[in-house]
Chain A
Amino acid sequence: MANVAIEAAAARPAYGSMSKDRRWALRWSYFFLVLFAIFFLMPPIYMLITSLKTSQEISAAGNPWWIYNPTLANYIELLTQNHYLTFFRNSAIVSVCVVAITMLISVIAAFALARMKFWGSATLATGVFLTYLIPETLLFIPLFKMFAWVNETFDIQLMNHWWTLIILYPSLTVPFATWIMIGYFASIPKELDEAALIDGATWMQTLTKIFIPVALPGIIAATIFTFTVSWAQFLYPLAFTTSTTELVLPVGIITTLIKGDVFNWGQIMTGALLGAAPPLIIYAFLMDYYIAGLTAGATKG
Protein backbone atom coordinates (compact mmCIF):
# COMPACT_ATOMS: atom_id res chain seq x y z
CA MET A 1 0.00 0.00 0.00
CA ALA A 2 2.76 2.38 0.95
CA ASN A 3 4.52 1.61 -2.30
CA VAL A 4 1.46 2.46 -4.31
CA ALA A 5 1.06 5.80 -2.54
CA ILE A 6 4.67 6.73 -3.19
CA GLU A 7 4.42 5.77 -6.81
CA ALA A 8 1.28 7.80 -7.25
CA ALA A 9 2.89 10.81 -5.63
CA ALA A 10 5.97 10.47 -7.79
CA ALA A 11 3.94 9.98 -10.92
CA ARG A 12 1.91 13.18 -10.64
CA PRO A 13 4.64 15.73 -11.42
CA ALA A 14 6.04 13.39 -14.06
CA TYR A 15 2.68 13.27 -15.82
CA GLY A 16 2.51 17.03 -15.73
CA SER A 17 5.82 17.43 -17.52
CA MET A 18 5.00 14.63 -19.94
CA SER A 19 1.80 16.30 -21.03
CA LYS A 20 3.69 19.54 -21.52
CA ASP A 21 6.23 17.63 -23.61
CA ARG A 22 3.39 16.09 -25.51
CA ARG A 23 1.82 19.47 -26.25
CA TRP A 24 5.08 20.72 -27.71
CA ALA A 25 5.60 17.51 -29.64
CA LEU A 26 2.09 17.96 -31.01
CA ARG A 27 2.76 21.54 -32.11
CA TRP A 28 6.00 20.59 -33.80
CA SER A 29 4.29 17.64 -35.46
CA TYR A 30 1.61 19.87 -36.93
CA PHE A 31 4.16 22.43 -38.01
CA PHE A 32 6.24 19.89 -39.90
CA LEU A 33 3.20 18.12 -41.29
CA VAL A 34 2.06 21.40 -42.81
CA LEU A 35 5.52 21.89 -44.33
CA PHE A 36 5.54 18.40 -45.80
CA ALA A 37 1.97 18.75 -47.02
CA ILE A 38 3.00 21.91 -48.89
CA PHE A 39 5.92 20.05 -50.45
CA PHE A 40 3.79 17.03 -51.38
CA LEU A 41 0.83 18.99 -52.74
CA MET A 42 2.73 21.77 -54.52
CA PRO A 43 2.90 20.14 -58.00
CA PRO A 44 -0.78 19.11 -58.22
CA ILE A 45 -1.87 22.53 -56.95
CA TYR A 46 0.37 24.23 -59.46
CA MET A 47 -1.14 22.03 -62.17
CA LEU A 48 -4.57 23.33 -61.20
CA ILE A 49 -3.40 26.95 -61.08
CA THR A 50 -1.78 26.74 -64.50
CA SER A 51 -4.74 24.94 -66.03
CA LEU A 52 -6.98 27.90 -65.16
CA LYS A 53 -4.77 30.50 -66.86
CA THR A 54 -4.70 31.84 -70.38
CA SER A 55 -1.48 31.39 -72.36
CA GLN A 56 -0.90 35.16 -72.24
CA GLU A 57 -0.99 35.08 -68.49
CA ILE A 58 1.30 32.05 -68.34
CA SER A 59 3.99 33.83 -70.32
CA ALA A 60 3.51 37.12 -68.48
CA ALA A 61 6.03 38.22 -65.85
CA GLY A 62 3.54 38.29 -62.94
CA ASN A 63 3.26 36.05 -59.92
CA PRO A 64 3.02 32.47 -61.24
CA TRP A 65 1.19 31.35 -58.09
CA TRP A 66 -1.74 33.67 -58.61
CA ILE A 67 -4.54 33.51 -61.19
CA TYR A 68 -5.47 37.00 -62.38
CA ASN A 69 -8.05 36.01 -65.00
CA PRO A 70 -9.38 32.54 -64.27
CA THR A 71 -10.64 30.81 -67.38
CA LEU A 72 -11.84 27.36 -68.38
CA ALA A 73 -10.61 27.83 -71.95
CA ASN A 74 -7.94 25.12 -71.58
CA TYR A 75 -10.48 22.57 -70.45
CA ILE A 76 -12.95 23.45 -73.19
CA GLU A 77 -10.29 23.38 -75.88
CA LEU A 78 -8.89 20.07 -74.69
CA LEU A 79 -12.22 18.33 -74.29
CA THR A 80 -13.48 19.44 -77.69
CA GLN A 81 -10.26 18.30 -79.29
CA ASN A 82 -10.54 14.81 -80.76
CA HIS A 83 -7.05 13.70 -79.81
CA TYR A 84 -7.43 14.07 -76.11
CA LEU A 85 -10.76 12.27 -76.00
CA THR A 86 -9.25 9.44 -78.04
CA PHE A 87 -6.40 9.11 -75.54
CA PHE A 88 -8.86 9.10 -72.70
CA ARG A 89 -11.02 6.47 -74.37
CA ASN A 90 -8.00 4.28 -75.17
CA SER A 91 -6.76 4.57 -71.59
CA ALA A 92 -10.19 3.75 -70.19
CA ILE A 93 -10.76 0.70 -72.41
CA VAL A 94 -7.26 -0.63 -71.81
CA SER A 95 -7.46 -0.16 -68.05
CA VAL A 96 -10.92 -1.71 -67.69
CA CYS A 97 -9.99 -4.72 -69.82
CA VAL A 98 -6.70 -5.19 -67.99
CA VAL A 99 -8.49 -5.05 -64.63
CA ALA A 100 -11.00 -7.68 -65.78
CA ILE A 101 -8.35 -10.01 -67.21
CA THR A 102 -6.02 -9.56 -64.25
CA MET A 103 -8.65 -10.25 -61.62
CA LEU A 104 -9.95 -13.28 -63.48
CA ILE A 105 -6.51 -14.84 -63.86
CA SER A 106 -5.11 -13.88 -60.47
CA VAL A 107 -8.08 -14.74 -58.23
CA ILE A 108 -8.44 -18.21 -59.74
CA ALA A 109 -4.70 -18.85 -59.73
CA ALA A 110 -4.28 -17.53 -56.19
CA PHE A 111 -7.05 -19.84 -55.00
CA ALA A 112 -5.33 -22.80 -56.64
CA LEU A 113 -1.97 -21.82 -55.15
CA ALA A 114 -3.22 -21.03 -51.67
CA ARG A 115 -5.66 -23.91 -51.17
CA MET A 116 -5.39 -26.67 -53.75
CA LYS A 117 -1.71 -27.52 -53.49
CA PHE A 118 -0.30 -29.29 -56.51
CA TRP A 119 3.13 -30.39 -57.61
CA GLY A 120 5.33 -27.32 -57.76
CA SER A 121 2.72 -24.91 -56.38
CA ALA A 122 5.03 -23.56 -53.67
CA THR A 123 7.75 -22.93 -56.24
CA LEU A 124 5.22 -21.25 -58.50
CA ALA A 125 4.09 -18.94 -55.68
CA THR A 126 7.69 -17.86 -55.15
CA GLY A 127 8.09 -17.51 -58.90
CA VAL A 128 5.05 -15.23 -59.05
CA PHE A 129 6.65 -13.01 -56.47
CA LEU A 130 9.97 -12.95 -58.31
CA THR A 131 8.19 -12.02 -61.54
CA TYR A 132 6.72 -9.05 -59.73
CA LEU A 133 10.27 -7.88 -59.04
CA ILE A 134 11.32 -8.00 -62.71
CA PRO A 135 10.93 -4.45 -64.01
CA GLU A 136 9.46 -3.57 -67.40
CA THR A 137 12.65 -1.68 -68.27
CA LEU A 138 14.28 -5.10 -68.62
CA LEU A 139 11.58 -6.55 -70.84
CA PHE A 140 10.60 -3.92 -73.38
CA ILE A 141 13.50 -4.52 -75.75
CA PRO A 142 13.05 -8.31 -76.09
CA LEU A 143 9.28 -7.75 -76.35
CA PHE A 144 9.92 -5.27 -79.15
CA LYS A 145 11.85 -7.96 -81.03
CA MET A 146 9.26 -10.63 -80.23
CA PHE A 147 6.53 -8.46 -81.74
CA ALA A 148 8.52 -8.17 -84.94
CA TRP A 149 8.86 -11.97 -84.98
CA VAL A 150 5.09 -12.42 -84.45
CA ASN A 151 4.49 -10.07 -87.35
CA GLU A 152 6.81 -12.05 -89.62
CA THR A 153 5.55 -15.47 -88.59
CA PHE A 154 1.81 -15.06 -88.09
CA ASP A 155 1.30 -11.85 -90.02
CA ILE A 156 -0.29 -10.21 -86.97
CA GLN A 157 0.86 -6.65 -86.43
CA LEU A 158 1.06 -6.10 -82.66
CA MET A 159 3.02 -2.90 -82.99
CA ASN A 160 1.22 0.43 -82.86
CA HIS A 161 -2.18 -0.81 -81.66
CA TRP A 162 -3.68 0.21 -78.36
CA TRP A 163 -5.15 -3.26 -77.85
CA THR A 164 -1.64 -4.69 -77.71
CA LEU A 165 -1.41 -3.00 -74.32
CA ILE A 166 -4.30 -5.15 -73.10
CA ILE A 167 -2.13 -8.20 -73.77
CA LEU A 168 0.99 -6.61 -72.28
CA TYR A 169 -0.17 -4.94 -69.08
CA PRO A 170 -1.34 -8.14 -67.32
CA SER A 171 2.30 -9.20 -67.20
CA LEU A 172 2.84 -6.21 -64.88
CA THR A 173 -0.33 -6.53 -62.82
CA VAL A 174 -1.07 -10.26 -62.52
CA PRO A 175 2.00 -11.22 -60.42
CA PHE A 176 1.29 -8.58 -57.79
CA ALA A 177 -2.47 -9.15 -57.74
CA THR A 178 -1.90 -12.91 -57.39
CA TRP A 179 0.57 -12.31 -54.61
CA ILE A 180 -1.87 -10.13 -52.66
CA MET A 181 -4.69 -12.63 -53.20
CA ILE A 182 -2.56 -15.58 -52.04
CA GLY A 183 -1.95 -13.66 -48.82
CA TYR A 184 -5.63 -12.89 -48.32
CA PHE A 185 -6.77 -16.42 -49.18
CA ALA A 186 -4.16 -17.96 -46.88
CA SER A 187 -5.56 -15.95 -43.98
CA ILE A 188 -9.04 -17.48 -44.40
CA PRO A 189 -9.53 -20.32 -41.86
CA LYS A 190 -9.26 -23.80 -43.37
CA GLU A 191 -12.43 -24.90 -41.52
CA LEU A 192 -14.49 -22.64 -43.75
CA ASP A 193 -13.71 -24.36 -47.03
CA GLU A 194 -13.58 -27.80 -45.40
CA ALA A 195 -17.13 -27.24 -44.21
CA ALA A 196 -18.16 -26.27 -47.71
CA LEU A 197 -16.47 -29.31 -49.24
CA ILE A 198 -18.16 -31.63 -46.73
CA ASP A 199 -21.49 -30.08 -47.69
CA GLY A 200 -20.73 -31.15 -51.23
CA ALA A 201 -19.61 -27.89 -52.76
CA THR A 202 -17.28 -28.11 -55.74
CA TRP A 203 -13.99 -26.20 -55.72
CA MET A 204 -15.49 -23.57 -57.99
CA GLN A 205 -18.42 -23.11 -55.62
CA THR A 206 -16.05 -22.85 -52.67
CA LEU A 207 -14.22 -20.10 -54.52
CA THR A 208 -17.25 -18.09 -55.63
CA LYS A 209 -19.48 -18.63 -52.58
CA ILE A 210 -16.89 -18.45 -49.79
CA PHE A 211 -13.48 -17.17 -50.80
CA ILE A 212 -14.47 -14.27 -53.00
CA PRO A 213 -17.01 -12.81 -50.54
CA VAL A 214 -14.69 -13.25 -47.55
CA ALA A 215 -11.63 -11.86 -49.33
CA LEU A 216 -13.56 -9.00 -50.94
CA PRO A 217 -11.42 -6.26 -49.33
CA GLY A 218 -8.34 -7.90 -50.83
CA ILE A 219 -10.02 -8.15 -54.21
CA ILE A 220 -10.95 -4.47 -54.11
CA ALA A 221 -7.38 -3.56 -53.13
CA ALA A 222 -5.96 -5.65 -55.98
CA THR A 223 -8.46 -4.13 -58.42
CA ILE A 224 -7.48 -0.59 -57.44
CA PHE A 225 -3.82 -1.45 -57.73
CA THR A 226 -4.29 -3.01 -61.17
CA PHE A 227 -6.24 -0.01 -62.40
CA THR A 228 -3.67 2.45 -61.11
CA VAL A 229 -0.77 0.57 -62.67
CA SER A 230 -2.38 0.19 -66.07
CA TRP A 231 -3.56 3.80 -66.09
CA ALA A 232 -0.08 5.10 -65.23
CA GLN A 233 2.04 2.78 -67.37
CA PHE A 234 4.33 4.87 -69.55
CA LEU A 235 7.17 2.79 -70.97
CA TYR A 236 5.20 0.15 -72.90
CA PRO A 237 2.91 2.58 -74.73
CA LEU A 238 5.88 4.83 -75.46
CA ALA A 239 7.81 1.93 -76.97
CA PHE A 240 4.97 0.15 -78.77
CA THR A 241 2.53 2.80 -79.99
CA THR A 242 3.19 5.84 -82.16
CA SER A 243 0.12 6.96 -84.16
CA THR A 244 -1.99 9.57 -82.40
CA THR A 245 -5.12 7.40 -82.66
CA GLU A 246 -3.44 4.56 -80.76
CA LEU A 247 -1.91 6.46 -77.85
CA VAL A 248 -2.98 6.30 -74.22
CA LEU A 249 -3.09 9.31 -71.93
CA PRO A 250 0.40 9.62 -70.39
CA VAL A 251 2.15 9.24 -73.73
CA GLY A 252 -0.51 11.14 -75.65
CA ILE A 253 -0.14 14.26 -73.53
CA ILE A 254 3.61 14.28 -73.87
CA THR A 255 3.82 13.56 -77.59
CA THR A 256 0.96 15.65 -78.95
CA LEU A 257 0.81 18.68 -76.65
CA ILE A 258 4.54 19.29 -76.85
CA LYS A 259 5.24 20.36 -80.41
CA GLY A 260 8.97 20.53 -80.89
CA ASP A 261 10.23 23.14 -78.48
CA VAL A 262 6.83 24.75 -78.03
CA PHE A 263 5.29 23.84 -74.71
CA ASN A 264 1.63 24.79 -74.42
CA TRP A 265 1.78 24.63 -70.65
CA GLY A 266 -1.83 25.57 -69.99
CA GLN A 267 -3.07 22.63 -72.00
CA ILE A 268 -0.35 20.24 -70.83
CA MET A 269 -1.23 20.91 -67.19
CA THR A 270 -4.94 20.59 -67.92
CA GLY A 271 -4.37 17.31 -69.72
CA ALA A 272 -2.14 15.98 -66.96
CA LEU A 273 -4.62 17.00 -64.27
CA LEU A 274 -7.59 15.41 -66.05
CA GLY A 275 -5.43 12.35 -66.69
CA ALA A 276 -4.56 12.12 -63.01
CA ALA A 277 -8.21 12.54 -62.02
CA PRO A 278 -9.49 8.92 -62.34
CA PRO A 279 -6.89 7.39 -59.98
CA LEU A 280 -7.27 10.34 -57.61
CA ILE A 281 -11.07 10.02 -57.51
CA ILE A 282 -10.87 6.27 -56.89
CA TYR A 283 -8.30 6.92 -54.21
CA ALA A 284 -10.47 9.57 -52.55
CA PHE A 285 -13.37 7.16 -52.20
CA LEU A 286 -11.53 3.92 -51.50
CA MET A 287 -8.50 5.18 -49.58
CA ASP A 288 -8.60 2.49 -46.93
CA TYR A 289 -8.61 -0.33 -49.48
CA TYR A 290 -5.84 1.39 -51.36
CA ILE A 291 -3.65 1.59 -48.28
CA ALA A 292 -4.51 -1.97 -47.26
CA GLY A 293 -3.35 -3.19 -50.66
CA LEU A 294 -0.18 -1.12 -50.47
CA THR A 295 0.87 -2.51 -47.11
CA ALA A 296 -0.28 -6.06 -47.91
CA GLY A 297 2.12 -6.32 -50.84
CA ALA A 298 5.21 -6.19 -48.72
CA THR A 299 4.02 -7.41 -45.35
CA LYS A 300 1.96 -10.45 -46.25
CA GLY A 301 4.08 -13.48 -46.80
Chain B
Amino acid sequence: MADIAAPSSIAAMGDSRSSLHKLMQRKSTVAFLMALPLILLITILVAYPAGYAVYLATLNKGMTRFVGFGNFEFLFGRDTFWLVVYQSCLFAITAVIFKALIGFVVAHFVHNIPSKGQRKWRGMLLVPWVIPPAMSTLAWLWLFDPSYSAINYLLQPLGIDRIPWTGEAGWARFSVILVNVWIGSPFFMIMYLAALKSVPEQLYEAAAIDGATWWQRIWYVTLPMMRNIIAITALFSLIVTFANFDIVRVLTAGGPLNSTHIFGTWAFRVGIEGGDIPLGASVSLFMVPILAVAAAFILRDITKRGSEV
Protein backbone atom coordinates (compact mmCIF):
# COMPACT_ATOMS: atom_id res chain seq x y z
CA MET B 1 0.00 0.00 0.00
CA ALA B 2 2.73 2.42 0.96
CA ASP B 3 4.63 1.68 -2.26
CA ILE B 4 1.70 2.58 -4.39
CA ALA B 5 0.86 5.70 -2.46
CA ALA B 6 4.36 7.15 -2.42
CA PRO B 7 4.94 7.75 -6.16
CA SER B 8 1.58 9.38 -6.67
CA SER B 9 2.18 11.78 -3.81
CA ILE B 10 5.59 12.70 -5.21
CA ALA B 11 4.02 13.34 -8.57
CA ALA B 12 1.44 15.51 -6.93
CA MET B 13 4.18 17.48 -5.15
CA GLY B 14 5.82 18.25 -8.51
CA ASP B 15 3.09 20.39 -9.94
CA SER B 16 1.50 21.35 -6.63
CA ARG B 17 2.26 25.02 -7.19
CA SER B 18 0.20 25.48 -10.32
CA SER B 19 -2.57 23.05 -9.40
CA LEU B 20 -2.88 24.52 -5.92
CA HIS B 21 -3.10 27.94 -7.45
CA LYS B 22 -5.73 26.69 -9.85
CA LEU B 23 -7.64 25.04 -7.01
CA MET B 24 -7.61 28.21 -4.97
CA GLN B 25 -8.84 30.16 -7.91
CA ARG B 26 -11.58 27.68 -8.54
CA LYS B 27 -12.50 27.51 -4.89
CA SER B 28 -13.01 31.24 -4.61
CA THR B 29 -15.06 31.27 -7.81
CA VAL B 30 -17.25 28.46 -6.53
CA ALA B 31 -17.61 30.22 -3.19
CA PHE B 32 -18.62 33.44 -4.90
CA LEU B 33 -21.22 31.61 -6.97
CA MET B 34 -22.56 29.95 -3.82
CA ALA B 35 -22.95 33.34 -2.17
CA LEU B 36 -24.39 34.96 -5.30
CA PRO B 37 -28.10 34.38 -4.51
CA LEU B 38 -27.54 36.02 -1.13
CA ILE B 39 -25.73 38.95 -2.71
CA LEU B 40 -28.45 39.43 -5.33
CA LEU B 41 -31.22 39.22 -2.74
CA ILE B 42 -29.59 41.75 -0.44
CA THR B 43 -28.77 44.08 -3.30
CA ILE B 44 -32.18 44.06 -4.98
CA LEU B 45 -34.48 43.91 -1.96
CA VAL B 46 -32.53 45.71 0.77
CA ALA B 47 -29.59 47.81 -0.41
CA TYR B 48 -31.21 49.23 -3.53
CA PRO B 49 -34.52 50.16 -1.84
CA ALA B 50 -32.61 51.78 1.02
CA GLY B 51 -30.73 53.97 -1.43
CA TYR B 52 -33.85 54.52 -3.51
CA ALA B 53 -35.62 55.84 -0.41
CA VAL B 54 -33.07 58.64 -0.22
CA TYR B 55 -33.68 59.51 -3.86
CA LEU B 56 -37.47 59.37 -3.43
CA ALA B 57 -37.27 61.71 -0.47
CA THR B 58 -35.94 64.44 -2.73
CA LEU B 59 -38.88 64.39 -5.15
CA ASN B 60 -42.15 66.30 -5.09
CA LYS B 61 -45.47 64.61 -4.42
CA GLY B 62 -46.11 63.67 -8.06
CA MET B 63 -42.56 62.36 -8.28
CA THR B 64 -41.93 64.51 -11.33
CA ARG B 65 -39.61 67.15 -9.96
CA PHE B 66 -36.48 67.28 -7.83
CA VAL B 67 -37.10 69.36 -4.73
CA GLY B 68 -33.91 68.72 -2.75
CA PHE B 69 -34.59 69.11 0.95
CA GLY B 70 -38.09 70.44 0.30
CA ASN B 71 -39.82 67.49 1.95
CA PHE B 72 -37.66 67.77 5.03
CA GLU B 73 -38.29 71.50 5.28
CA PHE B 74 -42.01 70.82 5.00
CA LEU B 75 -41.79 68.22 7.76
CA PHE B 76 -39.83 70.51 10.08
CA GLY B 77 -42.61 73.04 9.80
CA ARG B 78 -45.33 70.61 10.87
CA ASP B 79 -46.34 70.07 14.47
CA THR B 80 -47.39 66.48 13.78
CA PHE B 81 -43.85 65.65 12.72
CA TRP B 82 -42.36 66.85 15.99
CA LEU B 83 -45.06 64.96 17.82
CA VAL B 84 -43.98 61.81 15.96
CA VAL B 85 -40.30 62.44 16.76
CA TYR B 86 -41.15 62.91 20.43
CA GLN B 87 -43.39 59.86 20.57
CA SER B 88 -40.90 57.64 18.69
CA CYS B 89 -38.13 58.46 21.15
CA LEU B 90 -40.40 58.20 24.18
CA PHE B 91 -41.83 54.91 22.94
CA ALA B 92 -38.50 53.29 22.07
CA ILE B 93 -36.49 54.44 25.08
CA THR B 94 -39.15 53.80 27.73
CA ALA B 95 -40.07 50.44 26.25
CA VAL B 96 -36.45 49.26 26.04
CA ILE B 97 -35.71 50.34 29.61
CA PHE B 98 -38.74 48.50 30.97
CA LYS B 99 -38.12 45.44 28.82
CA ALA B 100 -34.55 45.28 30.11
CA LEU B 101 -35.62 45.77 33.72
CA ILE B 102 -38.42 43.20 33.65
CA GLY B 103 -36.26 40.78 31.68
CA PHE B 104 -33.45 41.14 34.21
CA VAL B 105 -35.73 40.65 37.21
CA VAL B 106 -37.61 37.69 35.75
CA ALA B 107 -34.37 36.06 34.60
CA HIS B 108 -33.16 36.22 38.20
CA PHE B 109 -36.31 34.63 39.53
CA VAL B 110 -36.10 31.82 36.99
CA HIS B 111 -32.42 31.38 37.77
CA ASN B 112 -33.20 31.18 41.50
CA ILE B 113 -35.56 28.23 41.37
CA PRO B 114 -34.31 24.61 41.14
CA SER B 115 -33.10 23.83 37.62
CA LYS B 116 -35.63 21.04 37.26
CA GLY B 117 -38.53 23.47 37.04
CA GLN B 118 -36.71 26.18 35.09
CA ARG B 119 -37.49 24.76 31.68
CA LYS B 120 -41.23 24.80 32.37
CA TRP B 121 -41.24 28.40 33.62
CA ARG B 122 -39.01 29.60 30.84
CA GLY B 123 -41.29 27.95 28.31
CA MET B 124 -44.35 29.59 29.80
CA LEU B 125 -42.82 33.06 30.06
CA LEU B 126 -41.63 33.09 26.44
CA VAL B 127 -45.15 32.68 25.02
CA PRO B 128 -45.69 36.44 24.33
CA TRP B 129 -42.62 36.43 22.11
CA VAL B 130 -43.88 33.46 20.06
CA ILE B 131 -47.38 34.71 19.24
CA PRO B 132 -47.36 36.89 16.10
CA PRO B 133 -47.45 40.49 17.40
CA ALA B 134 -50.38 41.53 15.20
CA MET B 135 -52.52 38.81 16.80
CA SER B 136 -51.51 39.32 20.41
CA THR B 137 -52.04 43.05 19.97
CA LEU B 138 -55.59 42.25 18.90
CA ALA B 139 -56.07 40.51 22.23
CA TRP B 140 -54.77 43.61 24.01
CA LEU B 141 -57.07 45.79 21.93
CA TRP B 142 -59.97 43.68 23.20
CA LEU B 143 -58.66 43.80 26.77
CA PHE B 144 -58.57 47.61 26.41
CA ASP B 145 -62.01 47.86 24.78
CA PRO B 146 -63.69 51.08 25.93
CA SER B 147 -67.00 49.50 26.94
CA TYR B 148 -66.09 45.89 27.79
CA SER B 149 -62.53 46.26 29.05
CA ALA B 150 -61.70 43.11 30.99
CA ILE B 151 -58.80 44.89 32.69
CA ASN B 152 -61.04 47.68 33.93
CA TYR B 153 -63.35 44.97 35.26
CA LEU B 154 -60.46 43.60 37.33
CA LEU B 155 -59.42 47.07 38.49
CA GLN B 156 -62.93 48.10 39.55
CA PRO B 157 -62.84 46.30 42.93
CA LEU B 158 -59.57 48.12 43.65
CA GLY B 159 -61.44 51.39 43.38
CA ILE B 160 -59.86 52.38 40.07
CA ASP B 161 -62.30 54.06 37.77
CA ARG B 162 -62.66 53.14 34.09
CA ILE B 163 -59.38 53.80 32.34
CA PRO B 164 -59.64 55.03 28.72
CA TRP B 165 -56.73 52.82 27.61
CA THR B 166 -56.68 53.81 23.97
CA GLY B 167 -58.98 56.81 24.12
CA GLU B 168 -56.81 59.49 25.75
CA ALA B 169 -53.40 60.59 24.51
CA GLY B 170 -51.54 59.87 27.74
CA TRP B 171 -53.13 56.50 28.33
CA ALA B 172 -52.79 55.51 24.69
CA ARG B 173 -49.06 56.22 24.88
CA PHE B 174 -48.89 54.13 28.01
CA SER B 175 -50.84 51.31 26.36
CA VAL B 176 -48.62 50.97 23.28
CA ILE B 177 -45.55 50.90 25.53
CA LEU B 178 -47.19 48.34 27.82
CA VAL B 179 -47.96 46.01 24.92
CA ASN B 180 -44.46 46.44 23.54
CA VAL B 181 -42.96 45.61 26.93
CA TRP B 182 -45.26 42.59 27.17
CA ILE B 183 -44.09 41.26 23.80
CA GLY B 184 -40.41 42.14 24.17
CA SER B 185 -39.41 41.40 27.75
CA PRO B 186 -39.43 37.58 27.34
CA PHE B 187 -36.64 38.01 24.78
CA PHE B 188 -34.55 39.92 27.33
CA MET B 189 -35.39 37.29 29.92
CA ILE B 190 -34.04 34.50 27.72
CA MET B 191 -30.87 36.41 26.84
CA TYR B 192 -30.16 37.38 30.45
CA LEU B 193 -30.90 33.89 31.67
CA ALA B 194 -28.33 32.51 29.25
CA ALA B 195 -25.86 35.15 30.45
CA LEU B 196 -26.61 34.42 34.12
CA LYS B 197 -25.84 30.76 33.58
CA SER B 198 -22.43 31.65 32.20
CA VAL B 199 -21.36 33.59 35.33
CA PRO B 200 -19.03 31.24 37.27
CA GLU B 201 -20.51 30.13 40.58
CA GLN B 202 -17.13 30.67 42.31
CA LEU B 203 -17.49 34.42 41.92
CA TYR B 204 -20.68 34.39 43.98
CA GLU B 205 -19.10 32.11 46.55
CA ALA B 206 -16.14 34.47 46.84
CA ALA B 207 -18.51 37.41 47.19
CA ALA B 208 -20.54 35.57 49.83
CA ILE B 209 -17.37 34.79 51.82
CA ASP B 210 -16.43 38.46 51.65
CA GLY B 211 -19.81 39.22 53.17
CA ALA B 212 -21.44 40.84 50.15
CA THR B 213 -25.16 41.54 50.37
CA TRP B 214 -27.45 40.41 47.55
CA TRP B 215 -27.42 43.93 46.18
CA GLN B 216 -23.61 44.06 46.15
CA ARG B 217 -23.51 40.67 44.49
CA ILE B 218 -25.71 41.94 41.64
CA TRP B 219 -23.87 45.25 41.35
CA TYR B 220 -20.28 43.98 41.58
CA VAL B 221 -20.53 40.46 40.15
CA THR B 222 -23.61 39.91 37.97
CA LEU B 223 -23.78 43.26 36.18
CA PRO B 224 -20.09 43.49 35.20
CA MET B 225 -20.17 39.90 33.96
CA MET B 226 -23.32 40.54 31.93
CA ARG B 227 -22.38 44.00 30.68
CA ASN B 228 -21.76 42.88 27.12
CA ILE B 229 -24.95 40.91 26.72
CA ILE B 230 -27.03 43.65 28.35
CA ALA B 231 -25.62 46.25 25.98
CA ILE B 232 -26.05 44.21 22.83
CA THR B 233 -29.58 43.05 23.70
CA ALA B 234 -30.65 46.59 24.51
CA LEU B 235 -29.20 47.92 21.25
CA PHE B 236 -30.90 45.18 19.22
CA SER B 237 -34.16 45.89 20.93
CA LEU B 238 -33.76 49.63 20.47
CA ILE B 239 -33.52 49.12 16.71
CA VAL B 240 -36.54 46.82 16.58
CA THR B 241 -38.64 48.97 18.89
CA PHE B 242 -37.77 52.18 17.13
CA ALA B 243 -38.78 50.65 13.81
CA ASN B 244 -41.92 49.07 15.25
CA PHE B 245 -45.08 48.99 13.21
CA ASP B 246 -47.47 46.18 14.15
CA ILE B 247 -48.29 47.15 17.71
CA VAL B 248 -49.07 50.81 17.15
CA ARG B 249 -50.89 50.11 13.90
CA VAL B 250 -53.23 47.53 15.41
CA LEU B 251 -53.70 49.06 18.84
CA THR B 252 -54.28 52.74 18.10
CA ALA B 253 -53.48 53.26 14.40
CA GLY B 254 -51.65 56.39 15.56
CA GLY B 255 -54.62 57.92 17.33
CA PRO B 256 -56.02 59.65 19.27
CA LEU B 257 -55.09 62.76 17.26
CA ASN B 258 -51.75 61.35 16.03
CA SER B 259 -50.47 61.16 19.59
CA THR B 260 -49.16 57.58 19.30
CA HIS B 261 -47.77 57.69 15.76
CA ILE B 262 -44.17 56.58 15.46
CA PHE B 263 -42.00 56.89 12.33
CA GLY B 264 -43.06 53.57 10.84
CA THR B 265 -46.80 54.05 11.23
CA TRP B 266 -46.76 57.69 10.22
CA ALA B 267 -44.70 56.89 7.12
CA PHE B 268 -47.36 54.31 6.22
CA ARG B 269 -50.15 56.78 6.82
CA VAL B 270 -48.50 59.53 4.78
CA GLY B 271 -46.82 57.43 2.10
CA ILE B 272 -49.22 54.59 1.33
CA GLU B 273 -52.59 55.74 2.63
CA GLY B 274 -52.00 59.42 1.91
CA GLY B 275 -50.44 58.72 -1.49
CA ASP B 276 -47.46 61.00 -0.90
CA ILE B 277 -44.65 58.50 -1.43
CA PRO B 278 -41.74 60.99 -1.26
CA LEU B 279 -42.99 62.46 2.02
CA GLY B 280 -43.45 58.97 3.47
CA ALA B 281 -39.92 58.06 2.40
CA SER B 282 -38.60 61.22 4.07
CA VAL B 283 -40.39 60.32 7.31
CA SER B 284 -38.98 56.81 7.37
CA LEU B 285 -35.47 58.13 6.70
CA PHE B 286 -35.51 59.82 10.10
CA MET B 287 -35.06 56.38 11.61
CA VAL B 288 -31.64 56.05 9.97
CA PRO B 289 -29.49 58.15 12.36
CA ILE B 290 -30.57 56.23 15.44
CA LEU B 291 -30.38 52.89 13.66
CA ALA B 292 -26.91 53.74 12.37
CA VAL B 293 -25.60 54.66 15.81
CA ALA B 294 -27.03 51.50 17.40
CA ALA B 295 -25.73 49.35 14.54
CA ALA B 296 -22.26 50.89 14.82
CA PHE B 297 -22.12 50.02 18.52
CA ILE B 298 -23.33 46.46 17.93
CA LEU B 299 -20.84 45.97 15.10
CA ARG B 300 -17.98 47.30 17.22
CA ASP B 301 -18.88 44.87 19.97
CA ILE B 302 -19.08 41.94 17.58
CA THR B 303 -15.80 42.64 15.79
CA LYS B 304 -14.13 43.16 19.17
CA ARG B 305 -15.31 39.81 20.39
CA GLY B 306 -14.43 38.24 17.05
CA SER B 307 -10.82 39.36 17.38
CA GLU B 308 -10.66 38.15 20.99
CA VAL B 309 -11.62 34.65 19.86
A residues with CB within 8 A of B: 18, 25-26, 28-30, 32-33, 36-37, 39-44, 46-47, 50, 58-59, 63-65, 104-106, 108-109, 111-113, 116-119, 121, 124, 126-131, 133-146, 167-168, 170-171, 174-175, 178, 203, 228, 231-232, 234-235, 238-239, 249-251, 253-254, 263, 265, 268-269, 272-273, 275-276, 279-280, 283-284, 287, 290-291, 294-295, 298-299, 301
Contact = CB atoms under 8 A, between A and B. Distances in A.
B67 interface: no
Nearest to A278: B132
A116 B26 CA distance: 10
B34 A140 contact: no
Contacts of B229: 298-299
A130 B299 CA distance: 8
Contacts of B110: 29, 33
A40 B46 CA distance: 34
A250 to B, nearest CB: 4
Contacts of B186: 40
A42 to B, nearest CB: 7
B138 A268 contact: yes
A138 B287 contact: yes
Interface of B: 27-32, 34-35, 37-39, 41-42, 45-50, 52-53, 56, 63, 102, 105-106, 108-110, 112-113, 119, 121-128, 130-136, 138-140, 142-143, 145, 148, 150, 153-154, 182, 186-187, 190-191, 194, 208, 229, 232-233, 236, 239-240, 242-246, 249-250, 263-264, 267-268, 271-272, 277, 280-281, 284-285, 287-288, 291, 294-295, 298-299, 301-303, 305-306
A79 to B, nearest CB: 17
A268 to B, nearest CB: 6
Contact of B49 (A142, A239, A279): A142
Between A142, A251, A263, A287, the greatest number of chain B beta carbons within 10 A of the residue's beta carbon is seen for A142
B34 A133 contact: no
Contacts of B63: 145
A212 to B, nearest CB: 14
A142 B56 contact: yes
Given A32-B109, A118-B31, A137-B245, 12 more contacts: A41-B124, A46-B139, A112-B30, A116-B27, A124-B38, A170-B41, A171-B45, A228-B130, A235-B245, A272-B138, A276-B130, A287-B119
Interface of B, secondary structure class, is helix
A189 B76 CA distance: 55
B287 A111 contact: no
A280 B130 CA distance: 6
B134 A43 contact: no
Given A46-B142, A170-B41, A134 B134 contact: no
